[in-house]
Structure 1
Amino acid sequence: MDKQRIAIIGLGRIGSAFLRQMLAKRSHGLDLVCVAEAMDTPGRQLAQQTGIKVCTLDDVVALGDGIHVIFELTGLPEVRRELREKLVNSQNKQTVIASESIVRVIWALISDEALPVIAGRATGY
């Protein structure tokens, strides 16, 4: 089975919880290439402790189609918009951006834990 090369952007409460699950599923065909998080969150610390590269949004985009799926979990529409624009400008037509809505579906399938709910947070694409 080909590995799905993924990146996670945003390692707050939701991104950190998702990172823990993805690390546990590494042997299931997932290659967690890198994460992007500007703040010193527990998720960023976990990524560093487990040898996952911590980079910037521009670094993630520069990986081109070497990333199959980017999980954009910042909860910030402007970051999602910037990411889409950067992928278009780089002519990357292969990488998929998965929003928090997609993560919530995946979460329901892989975990019995509750994913954090952040009041007032937009989860759409």
Structure 2
Amino acid sequence: MKGFSIGIIGAGQAATELLQQLVAAEFVYIVAIADLKTDAPGIELAKTHKIPTTTKINDILKLGEAIDIIIDVTGVCEVRNQLRQYMSETNNTHTVIMHERLSALMISLAKGALVEMKGSDETY
């Protein structure tokens, strides 16, 4: 395995902390990050690293199997459902959707303390 190509959905504070860890890893390639807020902290950080940004989830989803992992950091059930539906409709069996609970775990491990995320207690 040469590395991981990653798309990130959500660019708030939690996503920004995760993005800081990901850009530091030479084996991670961030394909794009999406958020409805063009001034979200993760969008600003992505721009400093020349990572493509968008306000549309579909801009990331349409990249299909070019993405290994889509990290959902939104905590929004509708977003999670949209991601699942798109993967099913396009028969994309390559890309893995990483649930926001796993994102919270990764960020918490990196910080050495529990990080609370919006919606992370919702059922999968």
TM-score normalised by length of structure 1: 0.86
CA deviations on 1:10-45 (whole Å, 9 max, x unpaired) are: 0112111111111112x1x11111111110211111
Q: 1:37 and 2:43 equivalent?
A: no
Check the 8 A contact 2:34/2:60 in 1, yes or no.
yes
Letter in 1 for 2:48: Q
CA deviations on 1:44-75 (whole Å, 9 max, x unpaired) are: 11111210001221111110100000000101
Distance 1:118 1:95 in 2: 23
Q: Identity of counterpart residues, as a percentage? A: 32
Q: Secondary structure at the match of 1:97?
A: strand
The aligned counterpart of 2:20 is: 20
CA shift in 2, pair 1:32/1:118, >3 Å:
closer
Distance 1:100 1:22 in 2: 15
Q: In angstroms, what is the RMSD of aligned CA positions? A: 1.9
Distance 2:7 2:60 in 1: 7
Distance 1:121 1:106 in 2: 13
Distance 1:50 1:101 in 2: 26
Distance 2:3 2:47 in 1: 21
5+ unaligned residues in a row in structure 1: which ranges? none
Check the 8 A contact 2:104/2:115 in 1, yes or no.
no
CA shift in 2, pair 1:124/1:21, >3 Å:
farther
Letter in 2 for 1:103: S
5+ unaligned residues in a row in structure 2: which ranges? none
TM-score normalised by length of structure 2: 0.86
Check the 8 A contact 2:75/2:118 in 1, yes or no.
no
